[in-house]
Amino acid sequence: MKASQTLAVQWQPHRESNQRWLIDAQPDGTYKISNQANGKALDGASSTSNGAPLIQYTCNGGSQQKWKLR
């Protein structure tokens, strides 16, 4: 498994598992988004502010890993 805190970056699509994301509905109405290749969660880097960098981090259920899809 890859190390935590890897930046999530935009890249030309190539359909490999590192570009596939699993979107799981949570009981509180939010979603957990995790990478298919390494199981890490899409994380707001310990911030819930606009413009924060996104990283992949071990799933911990923190507010920075809860997403609302609109």
Mean pLDDT by 10 residues, the chain (70 residues): 71 88 96 95 86 91 93
Task: Output DSSP code: residue 32.
Answer: E
Do the domain assignments include residue 60?
yes
CA-angle at 34, arms to 26 and 64, nearest 5°? 65
Three-state SS for 7?
Answer: strand
Angstrom distances, CA of residue 58 to CA of 13, 16, 61: 24, 21, 9
User: Is residue 1 one of the residues assigned to a domain?
Assistant: no
Tell me, yes or no, whether 12 lies in a domain: yes
pLDDT of residue 46: 79
Task: Give the pLDDT score at 5.
Answer: 75
Provide the CATH number for the domain around residue 18. Answer: 2.80.10.50
Q: How far apart are CA 60 and CA 63, in angstroms?
A: 9
pLDDT at 18: 87
Domain that holds residue 10: 6-65
Q: Structurally, how many domains does the chain consist of?
A: 1
DSSP structure class, residue 67: B
pLDDT at 2: 58
> Would 70 be classed as within a structural domain?
no
pLDDT at 22: 97
Do the domain assignments include residue 55? yes
Asked whether residue 50 is domain-assigned, the answer is: yes
